[in-house]
Amino acid sequence: MSQQRHIDELFEKIWDDYLLIAPSALSIHALLNASDEATHIVNDHIALRTLNFPHMGISALSQHFEALGYKHGSDYDFSDKSLNAMHFEHPNYDHPKVFISELKVEELSDEAQTILYGISESVTPQLMADSSCLFSGKHWQLTYNHYQVLLAESEYAAWFAAWGFRANHFTVSVNHLETLTELANVNELLKQNGFVLNTSGGEIKGSEEVCLAQSSTMADKMPVAFSDRTVDIPSCFYEFAQRYPLPNGDLYQGFVAASANKIFESTNVK
């Protein structure tokens, strides 16, 4: 099987899992297909979340993309959210980029660390050795009280504890749309059809000046079966990215930390 086929199949499996807890993504696809002349919607990138334990950190997830030809792009630090991140890109820019972040567990309280250490003990090397780990969900039990403890300190920690390994979001490439050629037009269409946008830092984060503009919906709410009850909480969202050319004429392929920092807030409870 060709490398391209392997890449396509992996992203299809990640997409199918994502749709299980982000049903609005299909509605957005239908809306864009009805409003734009593009023959198909192109995914700019996906984002994955994890914890910085050695056996399940960024490198444990990125190895599955690197095995398919992906290369490390840039590093990012989100100190206010206790996060590190890296992005990975394929030499063939037709393939989606991958943005992987990890929580600096040691910066949380002892109580939160204890909960997260318990989660890490359920993640085996055998699990992480197979690319199916990327869309395997959670492998641990979590009480609703423990979710609330994590949420009080880190929305990111609470989200990962509740949802596990899966795409936090996919991203429509505005550059590949035919009619809706500006991100502002996409946002207006979404709002006119009842979708709620993340307004933290403004509806549009970034600009042509930094070669990347981004927006996103607020996450869907879906039921999570905690060990003691089932509760609807934020799941996943859909992002939209418009890339601009560098001085050499090539489209910028990286990410803007200040913008990404606000995109994280698309899964906020409030």
pLDDT of residue 191: 97
3-state SS record for the chain: CCHHHHHHHHHHHHHHHHHHHCCHHHHHHHHHHHHCCCCCCCEEEEEEEEECCCCCCHHHHHHHHHCCCCEEEEEEEEHHHCEEEEEEECCCCCCCEEEEEEECHHHCCHHHHHHHHHHHCCCCHHHHCCHHHHHCECCCCCCHHHHHHHHHHCHHHHHHHHHCECEEEEEEEHHHCCCCCCHHHHHHHHHHCCCCECCCCCCCEEEHHHCEEEEEECCCEEEEECCCCEEEEECCEEEEEEECECCCCCECCCCCHHHHHHHHHHHCCC
Of the candidates 175, 242, 185, the residue with the CA atom closest to the CA atom of residue 214 = 242
The domain in which residue 252 lies consists of 3-267
pLDDT in tens, 63-74: 999 999 999 999
CATH number, position 218: 3.10.180.50
Q: What band does 3 get if pLDDT is binned at 50, 70 and 90?
A: confident
pLDDT of residue 4: 82
195-224 pLDDT per residue, tens:
999 999 999 999 999 999 999 999 999 999
Number of domains in the chain: 1
CA distance 162 to 225: 9
Q: Label residue 167 by pLDDT band (50, 70, 90).
A: very high
Please say if the pLDDT value at position 149 is more than 90. yes
pTM attached to this predicted model: 0.96
> Sorting pLDDT into bands at 50, 70 and 90, what band is 2?
confident
Residue 138 has pLDDT above 80, yes or no: yes
pLDDT in tens, 234-270: 999 999 999 999 999 999 999 999 999 999 999 997 6
Q: How confident is residue 112, by pLDDT bands cut at 50, 70 and 90?
A: very high
If you average pLDDT over residues 19-39, what whole number do you get? 92
